[in-house]
Amino acid sequence: MKTKQKNSILFLAFLLFFNSFYTHANDAIKNSDPEKDKILIYVLKNILTRGHFVVKDMNDDFSEQVFKSFIDGLDPSKRYFTQEDIKEFSKYKYEIDNQLLTDDVSFYNLVYGSFTEKIKNARSYYGELLAQPFNFKKQETIDLDFEKVPFAKNENELINYWRKQLKLNTLSRVQDKLDKQEDKAKKDKNYQKKSFKVLEKEARAEVLKNMDELYLRIEELEHEDWFSTFLNSVVGAFDPHTTYMAPRIKERFDQDMSGKLEGIGARLLKKGIYTEIFELVSGGPAWKQGELEAGDIILEVAQGELEPLDIVGMRLDDAIKFIKGKKGTEVRLTVKKKLDGSTKIISIIRDVVELEETFVKSTIVEKEGKKYGLIDLPRFYIDFADSNSRDSAKDMEKEIARLKEENVSGLLIDLRNNGGGSLKTAIEIAGLFIKTGPIVQVKYRGQDPVVKNDVDPKIQWDGSIVVLVNELSASASEIFAAAMQDYGRAVVIGGNQTYGKGTVQSVIPINNFYPNYEKDLGAIKMTIQKFYRVNGGSTQIEGVYSDIAMPDRYSYMKFGERDVAGALIWDKVPQANYTKTNSYKNFSDVVNNSKERIASDKKFKLINNYAKWLKKNQEDTSYSLNFRKFSEESKLLEKDSKKYTNAFKYQSNLTFKSPQYELPLMKKDSVLADKRNAWHKNLSKDIYVAEALNVLKELKLKDNVEIVKN
């Protein structure tokens, strides 16, 4: 891991984020539809004021919040607007609420109009600045904490902002090239080094290429995308999880929730003007057909025997629309093959494609003569449109049944990085481990909390359970973990606390409120409820505190709901009427033993020190633009970083194996086999899994489980 120059590549990462932001905002500076804009404003303000969990006045404070959010959304790195622009916009700073009440978009039109002009100017700024070498002898710095940096006073200062950002980008690349040269020279005495001048020129050319590609994407953006940014500033003023979803964003959301789509089963990416195959989905139509390969470029798309459509130069989202389609339909792709450059027409019959990595999977590990099951649950998925489709609760029940056939002695449920999903499936999965009883309480605004119960007396697993979480375990993950903790049914181990998203969102198609409008208006994902544990405490802000906390890279970072501006507060409601299982003879002893192991473990101590070091570097947002000083700081930080090179290098003596039912599937599907082998290899190197299994091994169930009334 390089150091300050690697940290300064945060700026490169920021550019990539900027690119991603605009790509996901999706498409151009055209096709304005004033009627549609006004309808969206009218419907959204009525939905929010009547249905959002928080009663919020659309007043001057609200107006100021939207004002700041929209400008920050368009210009997060302060590369476009000046203080003169902000002064002009400020005439509407306390008027946006009044405009919204009358479906007026004057503020948006003013800022958007100015922004489109700024975008046109940007190419000349960076093109001219990158045409000449930078002066790396000059003593100057740049601060990348854009919250603290003021807007440029005028056009000249704005150009200077651009100069510094591009200079840092170039400087970090030069430093990286020099480091690589040194490494090559050490290995090869005959290696001919390039001069600083040559490397600097190469670096500027690379930055220019990246900037050109970025602005090619920006030029593809449409009015709808920029207006979506404005709408999200409006709805986000209610809370950070309330968002407006344009039609294509809603479509992606549905796919993510269901874990499936209809199409050919290929992941695509944009490379210049071309649409390229990035990866084939294992088991999908393209994978089964066998002719399409990663790296192939799609030139034309035909629907069955119809005339082909040229998609070269088309934005990715539009190309995907033509390639995707209903199950059973034919698509003919004219493809330039990666291997030999030949052109070929490939016919594929579309089908339902299941995104395998979305779904529950399990593995078995033997430890001191006993077998344990590890279940990975990446999200709480469900297809709301098809009740017969697979969902996380059905799959979890099935996976546990398979593991029981293998005679496992305990279950480790891995919820790390699980951002949530369906509350319904979270309740049903929790119900697999208790007889009956409350799982969660949910509360609408102005109403008493409603207790959501598991009503199925069947217990799918009555053995020992450990739940592994981290700071990215959120929402439905926290409901499940909290229920297991409150019942005393499982040990929760992982980061100090989970993410802390204790709010419930409902996705509402906007056309439901304007049914006679023929165009798709998208949807609003709106916060309508808050979660509360059965013990009465909210998971909002606090999340779930682990019974056993293990240090990780996030331990000291600003991370989670508590650090999100505008997040709803923590509160509590009366406790639900539930009965603890108190399943274990030695719960406290096991927890204490684990804490002692973690506290004395050299690897965990190193990880903890690494987390502190990361926090320190996160707070240092200032970078020297003098080459000598930049290089010195880079080398100093690189020296410090070497202390933590081995922080996450770990190898257990554990061997993970797929359950019996999966073995014939892996024989037929080499891609699945490769994915499982890679997963098992990573698990054997996972110190958190190793400690969680230590805990699972030590847990002892009571002979007669004592029920303690709460």
Strands, DSSP E only, in 136-265? 141-143, 243-245, 260-263
CA-to-CA distance for 665 and 673, rounded, in angstroms?
8
Contact 81, 75 (CB under 8 A): yes
**Is 197 a known active-site residue?**
no
CA-to-CA distance for 479 and 538, rounded, in angstroms?
10
Q: How many beta carbons lie within 10 A of that of residue 572, not counting itself? A: 14
Residue whose C-alpha is closest to residue 542's, from 530, 552, 527: 530
By CB atoms closer than 10 A (0-12, 13-18, 19+), residue 4 is buried
Angle 119-121-123 from CA coordinates, rounded to 5°: 85
627-641 and 602-619 are packed helices; what angle lies between their axes, rounded to 10 degrees?
Answer: 160
Active-site hit among 501, 525, 530, 580: 501
CA-to-CA distance for 214 and 450, rounded, in angstroms?
48
**Is 595 a known active-site residue?**
no
Contact 142, 166 (CB under 8 A): no
> What three-state secondary structure class fits 19?
helix
Q: How many beta carbons lie within 10 A of that of residue 433, not counting itself? A: 24
Using alpha carbons only, how large is the chain's radius of gyration in Å?
28
Please name every residue paired with 411 in a beta bridge, in sequence order, or none if there are none.
373, 465
524 phi/psi in degrees, rounded to 5? -115, 130
Q: What is the largest CA-CA distance in the chain?
A: 79
**Is 475 a known active-site residue?**
yes
Active-site hit among 475, 555, 624, 641: 475
| The token pair that represents 430 in the structure block | 């929790």
Angle 173-174-178 from CA coordinates, rounded to 5°: 120
CA-to-CA distance for 296 and 298, rounded, in angstroms?
7
| The token pair that represents 382 in the structure block | 């469900």
DSSP string for residues in 572-617: B-PPP--EE---BSSHHHHHHHHHHHHHH-HHHHHHHHHHHHHHHH
Active-site hit among 486, 547, 552, 686: 486
DSSP state of 502: -
CA-to-CA distance for 548 and 96, rounded, in angstroms?
48
Residues with catalytic roles: 475, 486, 501
